[in-house]
Amino acid sequence: MTNGRPITFSAPGKIHLLGEHSVVYGKPALLATVNLRVTVTLSETKGINPKLYSSLSLQNDNFKKIIEPIVKKYLKIKDIPSYQLTISSQLPIGAGLGSSAAISACYIAALLNFLKVKWDLDLVNELTYEAEKAFHGNPSGADNCAVVFGGLIWFRKESEDLKIIQPLPFAIPAKLEKNFVIIYTGTPKQSTKEMVEMVSSNAAKFKELFDNQEKLAKELLSVLKGADKKELIKIIIQGEKNLESIGVVSKEVASIIRIIEKRGGAAKICGAGAIEGPTGALLCYHPTPSIIKQIAKSYNLDYFKTKLGTKGLRLEN
């Protein structure tokens, strides 16, 4: 901390353009950050027990209980001086947009800064992955990489100790990006951890589907660079069908996706999904985005436009 001033970090949310679930089993995922951000401010408090304050409807003590031990273990310290933490977010919680990774990354970076520890993005990413494991059980590590490094990320988990993190040297062309819309279907009843465990119990049956997701992810790279709208729609549709075959898309949300497809667009879930009811955020694409908005309104669902490939974790003061 510098002269006792509060420390503020922010980090973006993320979406999977392709690769949910299959990324846990060594297949590549293509992720992009979104320009909806989480902001965490840490302030020193003298002689007061550490408290965690937040504007979010979260079980905020869970972050403190998970993050502090991770930082203490890394630094080999027993205690952290008193502080207060405030958290605010533009991200819907439980939407599959990486809110837990974004909050954890900001919190960890703020604590390291507060403790005057020399840090870099690689260290914050490493510790945020530890937090993600505590929250979600068996995450791939893709979410934390996306929110920390930002932009468009190619990610592959070769093993627990080897992860390929490749920031891509190009942006999604504007004529494609402007046609993406996110629909928020609501908070899933099942947690990410529960959905990952469900898929894990049947993973051997899904090998061909995971292989196909890998093929689609590789095709998507060239499609994005070439700004091929028709092929983009085809890939999103097939990727979503694979996710439905895995069993992570509820019938309620699948029916919305079918309507989007019938109207000439495509949509897919963005996170772990759900067995029934809401599945969090839907990434939707249509050459005429107003059609997506009309469909969202017909279901009384929130929707929003967002820039893709925005900057990652950053110090705001």
Give one DSSP letter per residue of 148-172, joined into a string. HHBSEEEEEEEETTEEEEEE-SS--
pLDDT at site 167: 87
Inter-axis angle of helices 121-136 and 142-149, nearest 10: 140
For the chain, domain boundaries = 7-170+309-315, 174-304
Instruction: Count other Cβ atoms within 10 Å, centred on residue 302.
Output: 14
pLDDT at 60: 55
Nearest CA-CA partner of 93 in 201, 168, 192: 192
Alpha helix (H) residue ranges in 83-120: 99-114
Q: CA angle, 125 as apex, 97 and 68 as ends, to 5°?
A: 95
Phi then psi for residue 206, to 5 deg, are: -105, 15
The kind and range of the H/E element at 269 are strand 266-269
Helix or strand (DSSP H, E) at 242: helix 229-246
CATH number for 7-170+309-315 (one of 3.30.230.10, 3.40.50.300, 3.10.129.10, 2.40.40.20): it is 3.30.230.10
Q: Are 176 and 229 in contact (CB under 8 A)?
A: yes
What the block records as the tokens of 116 is 């005057």
Q: Which residues of the chain have pLDDT under 70?
A: 1-3, 46-61
Pairwise CA distance, residues 110 & 177, whole Å: 32
Please indicate whether the domains covering 7-170+309-315 and 174-304 agree at the CATH topology level: no
pLDDT at res. 47: 54
In one-letter notation, the amino acid at residue 1 is M
Query: What is the spatial distance between Cα 38 and Cα 126, in angstroms, rounded to a whole number?
Result: 19
Contact at 8 Å (CB) between 8 and 39? yes
Residues 309 and 9: their CA atoms lie apart, in Å, by 18
Q: How far apart are CA 90 and CA 200, in angstroms?
A: 31
List of residues 6+ apart from 65 with CB closer than 8 A:
none
Per-residue pLDDT tens over the stretch 34-85: 999 999 999 987 654 544 444 443 445 678 899 999 999 999 999 999 898 8
The CATH class, in words, for 174-304 is alpha beta
DSSP-derived letter for residue 311 is: B
Give the number of C-alpha atoms closer than 13 A to the C-alpha of residue 215, restricted to the C-beta side: 9
Residue 202 burial (10 A CB sphere; 0-12, 13-18, 19+): exposed
Cα torsion 138, 141, 142, 148: sign: positive
Which pLDDT score is estimated for 298? 97
